[in-house]
Amino acid sequence: MSRRDLLHVLTALAALAEDQPGVPVAVAALDERIGRGRQDMRTPLDLANLAADGLVADHGDGTWSLTEAGAQRHREDEDYAGR
C-alpha cells in the first residue's frame, strides 16, 4: 500500500472518530469519506497495514478505531502538514 493511501485512511478514520482512540467507525463510512466505492478492497487492506503498525484496531464487526498510537501519529502528521 502506498503511504498516501494509508495516510488518507488514517486521516478519514481520525476525522470520523473526532481524533478519539477506541471510537468504532464502519468501513463503509471510511470508503465514503475518502471517495471510494462501497466495499472497495483497498480500504480493508489499508486498515490491515495500519493495524500491523499498531495505529488502528479491528473490532471484528466491520468497524475499526484509532489506537492511542494512531491518534498520536495523526496529530503529528497534521502538525507537520500545517507548517
Question: SS3 sequence, 5-47?
Answer: HHHHHHHHHHHHCCCCCCCCEEHHHHHHHHCCCCCCCHHHHHH
Predicted structure pTM score: 0.88
Give me the residue label for grid cell 465514503.
32
* pLDDT at position 9 over 60: yes
Task: Report the C-alpha gap between 20 and 68 in whole angstroms.
Answer: 8
| Strand 63-66, strand 56-58: pairing | antiparallel
**Whole-number average pLDDT of the chain:** 90
**pLDDT classification of 18: cutoffs 50, 70, 90:** very high
In the chain, the domains with their CATH numbers are: 3-81 (1.10.10.10)
* pLDDT at position 80 over 70: no
Task: Report the C-alpha gap between 35 and 72 in whole angstroms.
Answer: 24
